[in-house]
Structure 1
Amino acid sequence: MAKEDDAELLEVSGRMVRISSPSKAYFTRGVHLTKLDIVRYFLAVAPGALRGIQDRPVVLKRFVNGAEAEPFYQKRAPSDLPEWMRTVTLSFPSGRTAEEVVVDDAAGIAWIVNLGCMELHPHPVRTGDLDHPDELRVDLDPQPGVAWTDVRAVAMEVKALLDELGLVAWPKTSGSRGIHINVRIEPRWGFTEVRRAALALARAVEKRCSLASSKWWKEERHGVFLDYNQNAKDRTTCSAYSVRPLPDARVSTPLRWDEVMTCDPADFTVLTVPDRFAKIGDPHAAMNDYAGVLDALLELAARDESEGLGDAPWPPHFRKMDGEPARVQPSKSRVSATRKKPAQPGGENPEPAAGPPKKGRRQPAMPLIVIAQSPDKASAEAGLERWKQQHPEAAALLAPDDILVDRMRGASYVWYRIRVNLRHIPETLRPPQGTPDPDDDPTRAWRETREES
């Protein structure tokens, strides 16, 4: 290791990697860690981290000001990419393309971590075949108020189903409140078919387990949501050994199945995982040896479709897909109701009221109001607390899953919208929709321009 001005030069995999501002604080609210500490962590677990990221295009999620500031997403490779790192041209649903970074060795990991990439976000494809994923991803996303024991129970139900279908599953903590289950597959199916298989899996688990939900819209979910859309093209999840921006520097950690029902995600941090890795190695070391096929899951999908259960909503930035239902949240669905006269004596059918029904009027299926929206999550959460103080009677009646925190993702940024479902509040006590506080919607100017054109 050598010093160069305010930088450290590390020799990694036979290459020199420059770490700028190595003493820059990355975590301060719980543990205290610098950028160099994060780099050293990744080098300690590099063989495991490479297993999830190697030979794949990577979206750079950059925490340039540390874990306590908002990150931004960068799809295109930086202009100062070292000559020993490579890129691959990836196409997106929008029709655009980008040269994305590919990591081949531990030096590559150190280089992107120097850019602030603590969460590693690889696509589920290899550079030799960008159209056919070699991984099916099951993202278990607990809704507000759902206990960790419920997440683990749903994970075991997923394993039981995948076992029955002849697929080998590999669990890991998400590094937050959920669990990720990855399945290596033969690269024979396109993104649409892999997502179709993931949707069939989510629906099958939902039928078997009352704790599970396959519903896309947050207001319809309960328990643990199986996010099938993580398998759509251009979607990524954090890979194994990623560091999450929580105060304790928690890590998305591979598990053995016999650990799932007893583990605590808080046990796996930047400070503890290197020792675990040194003692037991990587529980997912054999993952690449078990590439399965999707035939059984696609048969489940075909059965669902034959019974009238078609496609489910896609992510909002995708074009409307064939067979997809209306992409509008239930609370904003358009309802045309025909008013009827009271039944006449003698049981005659009532006739419609005079005049045609009004079309296109939005009738809210659920009483949702927007409380706050901001690029800064803390500011949005502070707005929610102010709303609760202004409406204490209503706030006291809210269930945990009545508060919907939407993490909205743009091309290179994220922002947060907080909504409240007033379903448990009597109509006489329901606060009206007011101006969100704060009301910083970064898409507003774009939407207004589009509406004017």
Structure 2
Amino acid sequence: MRISSPTRVLWPEPGITKLALAEYLVAVGDAFVAANGDRPVSLQRFPEGVDGEQFYSKNPPKGAPEWVRAVTVTYPSGRSHPQLVIDEPAAAVWAAQMNTIVFHPWASRAEASDFPDQLRIDLDPQPGTGFAEAVPVAVALREVLAEAGLTAFVKTSGNRGIHVFAPVVPEWEFLDVRHAVIAAARELERRMPRQVTTAWWKEERGERIFVDFNQANRDRTMAGAYSPRALPWASVSCPLDWGELDSADPREFTVLTVPARLTAVGDPWARMHDAPGRIDALLEWWRRDLDAGLGELPFPPDFPKMPGEPPRVQPSRARKSDGDG
């Protein structure tokens, strides 16, 4: 695979070049493809490096080689178009040649893109909290998912957050999986009300860890496992064993360090899909909460209005409007 402008510096702080990024993707290639391959993937591209402009490619970039696959997916708007699929490390290297730094895979497989095979939960530290505060929340979430019959896997987000994944049988569409995530998030919030919030509006979250349930929606993605991040220190969203989490420093997992780590300790996610679970128990929790008066939660602003969704207005604005009236 030919790399043009191989000396172009993508991360100025550590001096990592475009060629070094390609070499990284080769070094972690098997684990990268195992985690992100056979899935529709969006490319976050930085033609001038992480300090320059960026854009997302959902359609495969022009000039894609014949051996780079694409699959047609349907978006929340109802429209459809093709997205890139990575089947081998060379496809990831080609994406890097096209200035891709961050890879955003779907939670579903290419040939069954309507049916997620991963339940994904993004633990997002709010101002005043960080990675250290997210760690006990992730551990508690693992226990919640285990009670629902699911096996959880964990990775750093590449920044301050933590991503918790659980493999599931691909029998439910995105809305059902979203409801399963909300059910798990609410149970976690009940157990840790001072540390955890499911409040969609930032003004209501406080100094807590936000469980971002909307990352479970169709066409909502997060940086894939082993994907670099566009942060100054060239961090990587790195899979961990649960026993590593408490002492982990997310800034230590970078494009420069992760290949040696992978060689030394192996891939903690290698067996993720050996025994996928079911979300029946979580959907029972969802229905229990509905019966208790807890309804649907807000969707992202670019989604069509969804059944049962509360008004898309900040609570403070709603209160002000009611007062004016």
Normalised to the residue count of structure 2, the TM-score between the two structures is 0.96
1:137 matched residue in structure 2: 120
- Structure 1 residues without counterparts, runs of 5 or longer: 1-16, 338-357, 360-453
Aligned residue type for 1:260: L
Aligned residue type for 1:217: W
CA distance in 1, matches of 2:322, 2:313: 15
Contact preservation (8 Å) 2:24, 2:259: yes
Q: Which residue of 257, 261, 267 corresponds with 1:272?
A: 257
Aligned residue type for 2:126: Q
Once the two structures are TM-superposed, the CA of residue 35 in structure 1 deviates from its matched residue by 0.4
2:308 matched residue in structure 1: 323
User: Is 1:25 matched with 2:16?
Assistant: no
- Based on CA coordinates, which of the two structures has the bigger radius of gyration? 1
CA distance in 2, matches of 1:336, 1:127: 47
Change (3 A) 1:129 1:147: closer
Paired-residue identity, % = 46
**What SS class does the counterpart of residue 163 from structure 2 fall into?**
strand
Aligned residue type for 2:287: A
Runs of 4+ in 1 over 6 A off after TM superposition: none
Write the mapping of 1:105-184 to structure 2, written as runs, cut at 5 A: 105-184=88-167
What does the per-residue CA deviation read over 1:423-446, in whole Å, with 9 as the maximum and x for residues that have no partner? xxxxxxxxxxxxxxxxxxxxxxxx
CA distance in 2, matches of 1:79, 1:95: 24
Aligned residue type for 1:220: E
User: Is 1:71 matched with 2:57?
Assistant: no
**What SS class does the counterpart of residue 18 from structure 1 fall into?**
coil
**What SS class does the counterpart of residue 3 from structure 2 fall into?**
strand
Write the mapping of 1:349-388 to structure 2, written as runs, cut at 5 A: 359=325
Once the two structures are TM-superposed, the CA of residue 290 in structure 1 deviates from its matched residue by 2.3
Change (3 A) 1:147 1:80: closer
2:26 matched residue in structure 1: 43
2:212 matched residue in structure 1: 227
Q: Which residue of 336, 354, 372 corresponds with 2:322?
A: 336
Contact preservation (8 Å) 2:131, 2:162: no
1:211 matched residue in structure 2: 195
1:256 matched residue in structure 2: 241
What does the per-residue CA deviation read over 1:315-337, in whole Å, with 9 as the maximum and x for residues that have no partner? 00111111111111112215435
Once the two structures are TM-superposed, the CA of residue 60 in structure 1 deviates from its matched residue by 1.4
CA distance in 2, matches of 1:290, 1:215: 32
Once the two structures are TM-superposed, the CA of residue 120 in structure 1 deviates from its matched residue by 1.0
Aligned residue type for 1:246: L
Once the two structures are TM-superposed, the CA of residue 102 in structure 1 deviates from its matched residue by 0.7
Higher helix residue share:
2
Equivalenced residues, count: 322
Once the two structures are TM-superposed, the CA of residue 130 in structure 1 deviates from its matched residue by 1.4
**What SS class does the counterpart of residue 232 from structure 2 fall into?**
coil
Aligned residue type for 1:336: D
Contact preservation (8 Å) 2:116, 2:170: yes
CA distance in 2, matches of 1:103, 1:242: 13
CA distance in 1, matches of 2:131, 2:93: 33
Once the two structures are TM-superposed, the CA of residue 52 in structure 1 deviates from its matched residue by 1.9
Q: Which residue of 284, 296, 302 corresponds with 1:299?
A: 284
Contact preservation (8 Å) 2:130, 2:161: no
Normalised to the residue count of structure 1, the TM-score between the two structures is 0.70
- Structure 2 residues without counterparts, runs of 5 or longer: none
2:39 matched residue in structure 1: 56
Once the two structures are TM-superposed, the CA of residue 79 in structure 1 deviates from its matched residue by 2.4
CA distance in 2, matches of 1:101, 1:133: 17
**What SS class does the counterpart of residue 128 from structure 1 fall into?**
helix
User: Is 1:98 matched with 2:81?
Assistant: yes
**What SS class does the counterpart of residue 20 from structure 1 fall into?**
coil
**What SS class does the counterpart of residue 112 from structure 1 fall into?**
helix
Aligned residue type for 2:74: S
CA distance in 2, matches of 1:240, 1:70: 24
Once the two structures are TM-superposed, the CA of residue 219 in structure 1 deviates from its matched residue by 0.8
User: Is 1:247 matched with 2:199?
Assistant: no
CA distance in 1, matches of 2:224, 2:21: 16
Aligned residue type for 1:149: A
CA distance in 2, matches of 1:117, 1:158: 32
Once the two structures are TM-superposed, the CA of residue 253 in structure 1 deviates from its matched residue by 0.5
Once the two structures are TM-superposed, the CA of residue 95 in structure 1 deviates from its matched residue by 2.0
